[in-house]
Amino acid sequence: MVRLALLIIARDLRLALRHGSSVTMVVAFFVIVVIMFPFAIGPEQNILQRISVGVIWVAALLSCLLSLDNMFQGDYEDGSLDQFVLSPVPLELVVMAKFIAHWLTSSLPLIIITPLLGILMNLPERGYLPLILTMLVGTPALSFIGGIGASLTVTLRRGGVLLSLLILPLYIPVLIFGVLAVQTSVAGQPATEHILLLGAFTLFSAAIAPWAAAAAIRAGLE
Amino acid sequence: MNDILRGDNLTCIRGDRPVFSDLAFDLPPGRALVLSGPNGSGKSSLMKIIAGLLPAQQGSISFCHDDMLDDILGDRDWISQNICYLAHKNSLKAEMTVAENLDFWAGLEHFDGDIGEKAALIGIDHCLDLPVCYLSSGQARRAALARVLCHPGKIWLLDEPTVGLDSEGVGLLAELMDGHLCGGGRILAATHIGLGLDPQKTGQLNMQDYRSRQQTSPREAPLW
Contacts of A15 in chain B (CB under 8 A): 93, 95-96
| Cα separation values, B66 from B1, B47, B79, B123, B214, Å | 9, 25, 18, 39, 39
Which residues make Cβ contacts (< 8 Å) with residue B53, sequence separation at least 6? A82, A85, A86, A221, A222, B85
pLDDT bin (cut points 50, 70, 90) of residue B216 is: very low
CB A53 within 8 A of CB A194: no
Identity of the residue in B54, B79, B80 whose CB atom sits nearest the CB atom of A222: B54
Mean pLDDT of the region A83-99? 93
Backbone angles phi, psi at B207, to 5 degrees: -65, -25
Chain B residues with a Cβ under 8 Å from any Cβ in chain A: 51-55, 77, 79-81, 83, 85, 87-96, 100, 104-105, 107-110
Looking at the predicted structure, is the pLDDT value of residue B219 above 50? no
Check B107 against A7: CB less than 8 A apart.
yes
Check B96 against A4: CB less than 8 A apart.
no
Looking at the predicted structure, is the pLDDT value of residue B220 above 60? no
Contacts of B83 in chain A (CB under 8 A): 86
Amino acid at A49: Q
Backbone angles phi, psi at A57, to 5 degrees: -65, -45
Contacts of A85 in chain B (CB under 8 A): 52-53
Looking at the predicted structure, is the pLDDT value of residue B218 above 50? no
**SS3 call for B205:** strand
Provide the shortest C-alpha distance from residue A86 to chain B (in Å). 5
- Burial class (CB within 10 angstroms; exposed 0-12, middle 13-18, buried 19+) of B219: exposed
What is residue B214's predicted lDDT score, i.e. its pLDDT? Answer: 54
pLDDT tens column, A175-186: 999 999 999 999
Give contacts of A 18-77 with B, CB under 8 A.
18-19, 74, 77
Largest CA distance in chain B: 60
Which residues make Cβ contacts (< 8 Å) with residue A204, sequence separation at least 6? none
Average pLDDT, chain A: 91
Helix, strand, coil content of chain B in percent (nearest 5)? 35, 25, 40
Mean pLDDT of the region A84-97? 93
pLDDT bin (cut points 50, 70, 90) of residue A202 is: very high
Question: What percent of chain A is predicted at pLDDT more than 70?
Answer: 100
Looking at the predicted structure, is the pLDDT value of residue A67 above 50? yes
Check A7 against B104: CB less than 8 A apart.
yes
**SS3 call for B36:** strand
Mean pLDDT of the region A90-96? 94
**SS3 call for A36:** helix
| Cα separation values, A80 from A72, A75, B87, B148, B201, Å | 9, 5, 10, 13, 31
CA-nearest of B146, B161, B157, B155 to B192 is B161
What is residue B217's predicted lDDT score, i.e. its pLDDT? Answer: 47
Check B51 against A86: CB less than 8 A apart.
yes
pLDDT tens column, B19-32: 888 888 888 888 89
Q: What ipTM was estimated for this complex? A: 0.87
**SS3 call for B54:** coil
**SS3 call for B158:** strand
Residue with the bigger pLDDT between A207 and B111: it is A207
pLDDT tens column, B120-161: 889 888 888 999 999 999 999 999 999 999 998 889 999 999
Poorest-pLDDT segment among A24-38, B74-88, B139-153: B74-88
Helices (DSSP H) in B1-56: which residue ranges? Answer: 43-50
Q: What is the DSSP letter of B97?
A: B
CA–CA separation, A114 vs A119, rounded Å?
9
Number of inter-chain CB pairs under 8 A, A vs B: 67
What is residue B193's predicted lDDT score, i.e. its pLDDT? Answer: 80
Check B91 against A85: CB less than 8 A apart.
no
pLDDT bin (cut points 50, 70, 90) of residue A147 is: very high
Average pLDDT, chain B: 85
Looking at the predicted structure, is the pLDDT value of residue B222 above 60? no
Highest average pLDDT, of B54-63, B69-78, B138-147, comes from B138-147
Identity of the residue in A4, A15, A221 whose CB atom sits nearest the CB atom of B108: A4
pLDDT bin (cut points 50, 70, 90) of residue B213 is: low
What is residue B57's predicted lDDT score, i.e. its pLDDT? Answer: 86
